[in-house]
Amino acid sequence: MVLVSVIVPVYNAENYLNKCLTSICHQSLKDIEIITINDGSEDQSLTVLQNFAQVDARITVLDTDNGGVSKARNLGMEQAKGQYITFVDADDWLELTMLEELFLACRLTGSNIVKCDLFWQEEIGSRQLYYPSKTYFTYSATACLNKLFTEIGEKHFGFASCKLYKKSFIDLHKLKFDETMNFAEDTVFLTRAVIKNQSICYVPKQLYYYNVGNQNSLTSRAMSNVRNNYDLLYKKLSEELQSGEVYEKVKNSFLNYQFEGLLVILHQCPAKPQAIKNALQSFLQAYPEVLKVKLMNRKLQQFIFLKLIKMNWLTLSSTLIYMKVKRAK
């Protein structure tokens, strides 16, 4: 009996696959299948996958033309035979007890979705979180979405990874990743899933290692057309929140999310007054309610302030002055 299907999309990840797959193959939960999808890699990723499959019969290798991470994950879900599903990026790796601990949490609480935290893995090491309690906690859909739109650091509600999903729940609601998106598609998928389930079970442990340093991953290639990416993301999220009748309950959190997106867009803007002004005007014309944003907490305020400081002073002063004038009108 397959308890968990582990879905691993792969694109040009030959330098990371050995660590990733080894951490999955050596999980303390043994009744698993590992579905790898080679998404048109141009390096030796396919060879690495095939070599692992020869050693571990639980590994399936699907070789496809490049179609993006969403299409690869959807293909993996179609093939999955496990009672539960999890997603692992090919450049990340797992604590050896992760699948067992999340599986037990699902069984003990009856939850359709359970999550843990991740280690934010950088060259200097990983950041250790402090947990005053080891007790499972259940977040309502509203609480989860508020955290998803305002979170900072390791408690990543917006990632498809570091979570376990009940397969029958996925099938019942026909949950899939949006194949028209190549940026923040995780956030849209999880927003839809949480609204359908109305809750998420939280295991207060860091069990998933997220590789910050890999700039060639499936997700990092999406930032070349940043404003268009954000426009599509906000459209999809708004649709999910409106259809799930939770928009008003999480509106200010969503405005925080949009405001952070504005900072990212301005950060990538040429350091010229007219370019900055045009970007600001265009964004605020499309999303005027972002002027009403109330930052959720001091930690988020500090994060946004530091992000602004990292921008050049011209961008910083232009942003603050322009938004102050617009608010006053």
- Same domain? For 157 and 73 the reply is yes
The distance from CA 60 to its chain's CA centroid, rounded to whole angstroms, is 24
Task: Give me the domain span that covers residue 286.
Answer: 250-328
Residue 130: other Cβ atoms inside 10 A = 4
**Do the strands 113-122 and 199-211 form a parallel or antiparallel pair, or are they unpaired?**
parallel
**Do the strands 59-64 and 32-39 form a parallel or antiparallel pair, or are they unpaired?**
parallel
Query: Under 8 Å CB-to-CB from 325, ≥6 apart: which residues?
Result: none
What pLDDT, on a 0 to 100 scale, did the predictor assign at position 329?
44
- Same domain? For 50 and 106 the reply is yes
Within a domain: 235 = no
Rounded distance between C-alpha atoms, residue 148 and residue 187, angstroms: 8
Within a domain: 26 = yes
- Same domain? For 177 and 47 the reply is yes
Within a domain: 161 = yes
First-to-final CA distance of the chain:
63
Find, among 5, 189, 18, the residue nearest to 91 by Cα. Answer: 18
The half-sphere exposure of 230 on its side-chain side, counting CA atoms within 13 A, is 21
Within a domain: 55 = yes
Rounded distance between C-alpha atoms, residue 308 and residue 272, angstroms: 16
Domain of 41: which CATH number?
3.90.550.10
What pLDDT, on a 0 to 100 scale, did the predictor assign at position 214?
60
pTM of this structure? 0.88
What pLDDT, on a 0 to 100 scale, did the predictor assign at position 223?
46
Would you call 9 helix, strand, or coil by DSSP? strand
Within a domain: 234 = no
Rounded distance between C-alpha atoms, residue 24 and residue 21, angstroms: 5
Domain count, the chain: 2
- Same domain? For 146 and 267 the reply is no
- Same domain? For 256 and 157 the reply is no
Rounded distance between C-alpha atoms, residue 13 and residue 289, angstroms: 41
- Same domain? For 36 and 179 the reply is yes
Find, among 18, 192, 170, 185, the residue nearest to 81 by Cα. Answer: 170
The per-residue pLDDT string of the chain (329 residues; one tens digit each, 9 = 90 and over) reads 999 999 999 999 999 999 999 999 999 999 999 999 999 999 999 999 999 999 999 999 999 999 999 999 999 999 999 999 999 999 999 999 999 999 999 999 999 999 999 988 665 566 788 899 899 999 999 999 999 998 876 677 889 999 999 999 999 999 999 999 989 999 999 999 999 999 999 999 999 999 887 655 444 444 458 999 999 999 999 999 999 999 999 999 999 999 888 888 887 877 777 887 788 889 999 999 998 888 765 555 555 555 555 555 455 555 554 454 444 44
- Same domain? For 207 and 254 the reply is no
What pLDDT, on a 0 to 100 scale, did the predictor assign at position 64?
97
- Same domain? For 36 and 91 the reply is yes
Within a domain: 69 = yes
What pLDDT, on a 0 to 100 scale, did the predictor assign at position 2?
98
Within a domain: 239 = no
- Same domain? For 186 and 45 the reply is yes
Rounded distance between C-alpha atoms, residue 149 and residue 51, angstroms: 40
- Same domain? For 173 and 77 the reply is yes
- Same domain? For 288 and 207 the reply is no
- Reported for 188-193, long-range contacts at CB under 8 A and 24+ positions apart, including other chains, are 188/233, 188/236, 188/237, 188/240, 189/160, 190/148, 190/157, 190/158, 190/159, 190/160, 190/163, 191/145, 191/148, 191/237, 191/240, 191/241, 192/240, 192/244, 193/113, 193/165
Within a domain: 236 = no
Would you call 93 helix, strand, or coil by DSSP? strand
Rounded distance between C-alpha atoms, residue 38 and residue 5, angstroms: 16
- Same domain? For 275 and 189 the reply is no
